[in-house]
Every structure is written in C-alpha cells, then in structure tokens.
C-alpha cells in the first residue's frame, strides 16, 4: 500500500478522498473536467426505489461559510440508475464506486440495496438513514437506535457487499445510534449528514427555500463533524467515513486523526469542481509538513 492508501471495509483505496453523495452526480459530469480515477472512490447521487422529482424550487440558499439545500432526493429511481447511469459511469471510472441509498420504508431500503448489490461496479452500499420514516410519523430512521438497527438488519439480510450506514447529526446521542447499527451488522458508519438550517429573506419576510428548512453544509459545520466522528470512532469497532465541511488536505488529516478511515468532500465540490482532485494532490506536501509517513497510521491518532 502507498503513502495515501487506506483499507475501507476490506477494499483498498488509493487515497481516502471520496466526493460525497449529491455533490458529484454519477461521476461522468466531472470526468469532463479531469480524470476522476485519481479519486479514492466517490459516492453517487442518492438513489431511491422509485423515481423522484424532488422538492419545489427554490431549493438552495446561501449562508455564511456554507449553504442550505432541500433538493429532495431527485433521482431517476434504482432501475434507471442501473440501466442508464451506471453504464455511462463505467466508461469514465474504473474503480469500485459507493452506491448511496435512500428510502421511506424498511422495504424500500432493502429492495434498492438488493438491486444495487448485484452491480459489479458497486463496492460499498452507503445507506442514508436520514430519510423520513413514512410509517413512523415522518421522523427519520436515523433519529432512533431501534429504527436504525431495523434498517441495517434488513439491508444486511439481502446484500453481500459492505454496508456503511450514513447518520444524521440532528440527534442528541449519535453514539447510541452508531452502536445500534454496528450491533445489527453494519460494516461501517459514515457521518455527518447535513445539519438542519433555515434562511429568511428580509425583503419578502419569508423563508428563502420553498421547503422552509433544509440541509446546512459547508465549512461552518466542520468542527461539529470532527466532534461526532471522534465520538463514534471511539465507540465502535468498524471503520468510520468522516464528512462535513471538509475543504482542504489539512481538514482530511484532522478528520482522520479524529478516527475517520476515509473522508468525503461535499459542498466544496459545488464551490470548486476541482477540489477533490486538488486536495488529493496537496496531501503529500501536508503530510511532509506534519511528519506523517502514511495516512493509515494516523487514523484515530487524536486520543
């Protein structure tokens, strides 16, 4: 393994940098700008069982050191992702990809994961439990250990590839939820998803986005993400993928010291489409500056 390489659930990544779901499409859009095979891997756009048009517009609001979005999981549905999007992706990306899955019932999650698990190009399934539980009053599956455990068990029962459960930070006890997922058989945990935020237009005196509230992301949330990654990594015995406001090679190293095996880049891809590539290129110099020989040796080093 090279200086930058890490092992994520039994699969070696050339480096730990992973563009996050919802910020990198299906890869081929970015492949027009640079060779995306420099990436460790990427997590493609959140996929649901049925096609989704998404939320009404406007869906995006800017804010200091970040943004708020309420796109609403717009995607063509799992069958079209498999038949149309993955073949296009395969032409530009020759590594295993992370499939991000969302659902509104346990059955939704299980169906979509089972379908994507059969795809050769999929290496990991990143299961987003921040979605509303339509049978549980609209609260997300990720807000209770019991619901998160139920989803984890259901998807593990129908898959063979590593399952990484993506957790919401909008909870009071992130550790209990992560441990519940581990107990149910999760192979990894990724966090944090977006915080809940809102902007109000002073001229109209109304919320900026049609959905009123949305996911707050960007560099402003980085300290919260580091804290939660640290808490979870010290509580579980499975790999943690860290994300939330990462925008530099220094941020990647800080996240790994907190306990992350790999690090996802989200909103920064929307600010600068070359950011993931540039962060990878900057890592060796930053490692030299801080006398780090290999990235794998610093995982969880901040005790």
Active-site residue flag, 119: no
For residues 263 and 8, is the Cβ–Cβ distance under 8 A?
no
**125 three-class SS:** strand
For residues 141 and 166, is the Cβ–Cβ distance under 8 A?
no
φ, ψ (nearest 5 deg) of residue 46: -50, 130
**Rounded CA separation 40/32 (Å):** 18
Q: From the candidates 9, 113, 131, 181, which is the catalytic residue?
A: 131
Q: Which of 83, 90, 165 is nearest to 124 (CA)?
A: 165
**179 three-class SS:** helix
Burial (CB count within 10 angstroms: exposed 0-12, middle 13-18, buried 19+), residue 17? buried
Residue 131 makes CB contacts below 8 A (sequence gap 6+) with 73, 102, 103, 104, 140, 141
Helix (H) or strand (E) holding 79: helix 78-80
Length of the chain: 303
For residues 11 and 123, is the Cβ–Cβ distance under 8 A?
yes
12-16: long-range contacts, CB 8 A cutoff, minimum separation 24: 13/40, 13/41, 13/262, 14/38, 14/40, 14/95, 15/39, 15/40, 15/280, 15/283, 15/295, 16/40, 16/252, 16/256, 16/260, 16/261, 16/262, 16/263, 16/295
Q: Which of 296, 300, 287 is nearest to 236 (CA)?
A: 300
Which residues belong to the active site?
Answer: 131
């Amino acid at each position: 393994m090279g200086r930058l390489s890490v092992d994520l659930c039994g699969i070696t990544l050339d480096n730990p940098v992973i563009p996050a779901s919802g910020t990198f499409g299906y890869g081929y859009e970015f492949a027009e700008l640079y060779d995306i095979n420099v990436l460790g891997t990427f997590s493609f756009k959140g996929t649901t069982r049925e096609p989704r048009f998404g939320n009404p517009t406007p869906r995006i609001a800017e804010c200091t050191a970040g943004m708020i979005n309420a796109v609403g999981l717009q995607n063509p549905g799992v069958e079209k992702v498999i038949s149309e999007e993955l073949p296009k992706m395969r032409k530009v990306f020759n590594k295993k990809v992370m499939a991000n899955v969302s659902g509104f019932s346990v059955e939704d999650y299980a169906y979509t994961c089972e379908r994507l698990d059969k795809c050769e190009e999929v290496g990991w399934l990143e299961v987003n439990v921040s979605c509303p539980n339509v049978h549980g009053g609209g609260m997300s599956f990720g807000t209770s250990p019991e619901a998160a455990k139920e989803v984890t068990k259901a998807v593990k029962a129908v898959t063979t590839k590593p399952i990484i459960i993506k957790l919401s930070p909008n909870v009071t006890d992130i550790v209990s939820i992560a441990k519940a997922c581990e107990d149910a058989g999760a192979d990894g945990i990724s966090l944090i998803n977006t915080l809940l935020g809102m902007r109000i237009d002073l001229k109209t005196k109304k919320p900026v986005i049609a959905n009123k509230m949305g996911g707050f992301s960007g560099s402003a949330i980085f300290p919260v993400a580091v804290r939660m990654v640290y808490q979870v990594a010290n509580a579980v015995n499975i790999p943690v993928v860290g994300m939330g406001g990462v925008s530099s090679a220094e941020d990647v190293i800080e996240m790994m010291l907190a306990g992350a095996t790999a690090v996802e880049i989200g909103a920064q891809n929307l600010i600068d489409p070359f950011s993931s590539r540039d962060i990878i290129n900057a890592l060796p110099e930053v490692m030299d500056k801080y006398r780090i020989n290999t990235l794998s040796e610093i995982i969880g080093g901040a005790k």
